[in-house]
Structure 1
Amino acid sequence: MNEPAVSVVVCAYTEDRWEDILAAVASVRAQSRPALETLLVVDHNQALLERLTGEYKEVDEVRVLANAGPRGLSAGRNTGIAASYGEIIAFLDDDAVAERDWLRFFVEGYTDPRVMAVGGRTVPVWASGRRPVWFPEEFDWVVGCAYKGLPTGRAEVRNVLGGNASFRRTAFDAAGGFATGIGRDGDKRPLGCEETELCIRLSRARPDAILLLDDRAVIHHRVPDLRTRFGYFHTRAYAEGLSKALVARSVGAAKALESERRYTTRVLPAGVARGLRDALLGRSGGAGRAGAIVAGVAAAAGGYVVGRVRARRCDVSFPVAVIPGGEGGSR
C-alpha cells in the first residue's frame, strides 16, 4: 500500500523571523520521508510575501501564498489546507526546525484508518543557551513547547499541539477548519487553543477518531529572550485562561477542561513540591519554580474567569472555515 502524500504548512507573519523561516523550510526539505510540498502562508505582510516569493521562485516543491482570510494564525492555516494536495497536512511553526525523521514518524501513525491526527514533541531552544532557573518545565507550553505532564511514547490524547501537528485531510472535511477568533492574531494578546477547539470538534464529528501524540516526531522551537521573562510568562498564562474560556464557549466546559483537571490537580502540585524540596536542599531556582507555578495557575484562572464573564455578556461566535475540496487530494 502506498504511503499517503504529506503537505507541510508553515505560517509566517514578520520579516524579523527571516532566518528562522528559511531554517524551517530547509528542515522540511531535508526530511528522510520527503514532503509532497511545503506551503508558506504569509499573514498580511506584502513585503514578506514578495521577499519569500523571490527566495523560492525556482524551488518547485515550495509555494508561497498570501493568507486569504482575516489576519491571524487560524486563517493562515486554513489557507494552507485549502491550497494543499496532500492526504496528510502537517503544520510547523515558522521559528522551529524539524528533526530528519519528523514526517516519517507522523506518517507511521496513520496506519490505522481511525487515526485523524498525530502530534509530536516540541523542544525549547533557549536564546541564552539554557533554561532560566526559575522557569518550570510544567509551563513550557507558555513558550509553545511540550511540557512535563504530557504522555510519553505514542499515546492517545484529547488534542495535538498546533505548532507540531498533522491531520488527515478528511478530518477537515468532517469538522471544518480552524476557527477564527481563537488563537494568535498578529501582535495582539498571545491567545492560543485553536487546535484544542478543532480537535474537540473533530472528536464530536467523528466519535471513532483517534488522536495521537508521538514524542519521536521532534521539532526544536526557538525561544527568544523576551519570552523568558516573567512578564511574558504571566501574560501568556492569563491569555491561556482567556483562550480556554473561548473554547468552553464553543465546545462546552466539560471537554474544554478535561485534560486540564489532571494537570492542575496532579502535575502542578507535584511541581510545586519539587520546587520547594529543591529550595530546602539549596538547589538553584527551586523557590522560583514553585512560585512561578502558583503565579501561572492564578493568572490562567483569572483569565478564564474574565473570559467566561465576557462570554456571558456578549453573543460570541467563532466562524469555522469550510475547507474547499476542489484542490485537495493527490496530484
Structure 2
Amino acid sequence: MSTLEPDRAASAERTPSPDRLGTAVSVVIPCYSDERWSSILDAVVSVQKQLTPAEKIVVAVDHNPALSARLREALPEISVVDNAAGIRGASATRNAGAADTTTPLIAFLDDDEVALPEWLGTLIAPFSDPDVVGTGGRYEPIWETEKPSWFPDVFAWVIGGHYEGMPETVSRVRNVWAGNMAVRAAEFRAVGGFLASFGKLAASSQPEDTSLCISMHRYSGGHWMYVPEAVIHHAVPRERATFAFFVRRCYSEGHGKLLLRANLPTQDDDETLSEERLYLIRVLPRGVLHELRDTSRAFSRVCAMLAGVTAAAVGASVAIGQRVFRLGKERRETSHKVL
C-alpha cells in the first residue's frame, strides 16, 4: 500500500451534501456460478448478522438466470439483480448491483468470503472524514487444504490474503481490494464505477479495483483508507494451493498492472505503479530475510519468491510487447488512411 497526497484544490471546491455524508450503506455481493451456492449463502448470512446492519443487501448475478431464480426463491428478503445484457465479469456485475442501491455508501463483498460481525461498522467508520472516498479491509485466507510449505507469506496477495508489508493500523493508501471495499456512491457513479472491460473473468485477472481507486482519487481529490480491523475470511480452494496457480497469478499481476498503466494515462506515472515499486524495493527484501530464519523451508520459499517475481516480469514484458504491436498497427492504419 502507498500514500498519496490529494488534490487540495479539488477537495476545497467540493461541497459535500448531507446525502453524500450519510452513513446508510448497502452491500453488493457479485456471483456467477451455482457451484458456489453454499458460499453465496454464507456470504449473505454474514452480512445479515452484522452488528451494523446494511440498509439493503444486493446479490448481483453474472449471466446466470437459473441462479438468479434460485436465489430469489431461497432469499426473498434480499434484492437479486442480473448482469444479463452487459459485459461478463466481476466489474460489470458489481456495477449492476450498485445500480440497485440508493444509499450514500456502497460496500462490496465477494461470493467466496464471509464477513466477521464487526466488519461493516468498522469498514464505514472512516467516512466520518469528508475527504475519504473509499475504504478497504483485511483479508484472512481460509485454506481448504494445508498451506503449502513452499508458499511465502509475502506473496499472500496471490490467493487474496493479507500479506507482510501491509499496514497493521488504519492507514491512508493508494488502493484497496474490491472484495472488501466501501465507497461513496456519488464519486463511484461519477467515474462510471468499475471499468467493465477491465477485471476478472475466467483466466483473466486484471486490477479493476486499483483502477477504480485511482480514478476516484483523481476525480474527487479524496483518499482511501485501509482498515485492518474490517476483517473478512476468504476461501482458498484446493486448486489455488498449487505452484502452477501461484505462477499464473503472478504472471497475471505483472500483465494486468502494465495494462492498468496504459488504461490510466497520467502526467504522474509514479502514481499508477508506486505501490508495486515499494513492494519490490522494500517488502520483498524483508520477506526474503524473514524466510531465511526458517532454515527448513527457506530454500523452497525463496525459490517460490524468485519464480513469482520472474513470472510477473514476464507478464509485464508481454503486456508491453502487445501494446507496442497495437500502437504500431494503429499508426500504420492511420498512415494508410491519410495516403
Paired letter, 1:143: I
- Please provide the CA RMSD for this pair: 1.7
Q: Matches of 1:117 and 1:101 in 2, distance apart?
A: 18
Deviations 1:182-211 (A, max 9, x none): 2111x233x13101011111111122x020
SS at match of 1:121: strand
SS at match of 1:257: helix
Instruction: Indicate whether 1:286 and 2:298 are aligned.
Output: yes
Tell me by how many angstroms 1:53 deviates. 1.5
CA contact (8 A) 2:22 2:105 kept: no
Instruction: Indicate whether 1:312 and 2:324 are aligned.
Output: yes
SS at match of 2:99: helix
Deviations 1:278-305 (A, max 9, x none): 22xxx3x222111111111110111011
CA contact (8 A) 1:182 1:246 kept: no
Q: Matches of 1:182 and 1:228 in 2, distance apart?
A: 25
| Residue in 2 that maps onto 1:122 | 139
Q: Matches of 1:105 and 1:173 in 2, distance apart?
A: 23
| Residue in 2 that maps onto 1:201 | 215
Q: What TM-score results when the alignment is normalised by the length of structure 1?
A: 0.88
Instruction: Indicate whether 1:236 and 2:249 are aligned.
Output: yes
Q: Matches of 1:125 and 1:286 in 2, distance apart?
A: 23
SS at match of 1:176: coil
Which stretches of structure 1, 4 residues or more, deviate above 6 A after TM superposition? none
**Which residue of 120, 125, 131 corresponds with 1:108?**
125
Q: Matches of 1:31 and 1:259 in 2, distance apart?
A: 32
Q: Matches of 1:215 and 1:251 in 2, distance apart?
A: 28
Paired letter, 2:234: H
CA contact (8 A) 1:120 1:165 kept: yes
Q: List gaps (5 residues or longer) in structure 1.
A: 316-331
Tell me by how many angstroms 1:3 deviates. 5.3
Q: Which moved more, 1:140-149 or 1:306-315?
A: 306-315
SS at match of 2:294: helix
| Residue in 1 that maps onto 2:35 | 16
Instruction: Indicate whether 1:296 and 2:311 are aligned.
Output: no
**Which residue of 125, 139, 148 corresponds with 2:155?**
139
Tell me by how many angstroms 1:314 deviates. 2.2
Tell me by how many angstroms 1:49 deviates. 1.5
Instruction: Indicate whether 1:221 and 2:234 are aligned.
Output: yes
| Residue in 2 that maps onto 1:210 | 223
| Residue in 1 that maps onto 2:171 | 155
| Residue in 2 that maps onto 1:329 | none
Tell me by how many angstroms 1:17 deviates. 0.8
Q: List gaps (5 residues or longer) in structure 2.
A: 1-17, 328-339
Larger Rg, first or second structure (1 or 2): 2
Q: What TM-score results when the alignment is normalised by the length of structure 2?
A: 0.86
Paired letter, 1:101: E
CA contact (8 A) 1:8 1:91 kept: yes
CA contact (8 A) 2:22 2:104 kept: no
Q: Matches of 2:298 and 2:44 in 1, distance apart?
A: 38
Q: Matches of 2:260 and 2:22 in 1, distance apart?
A: 34
**Which residue of 157, 162, 181 corresponds with 2:197?**
181
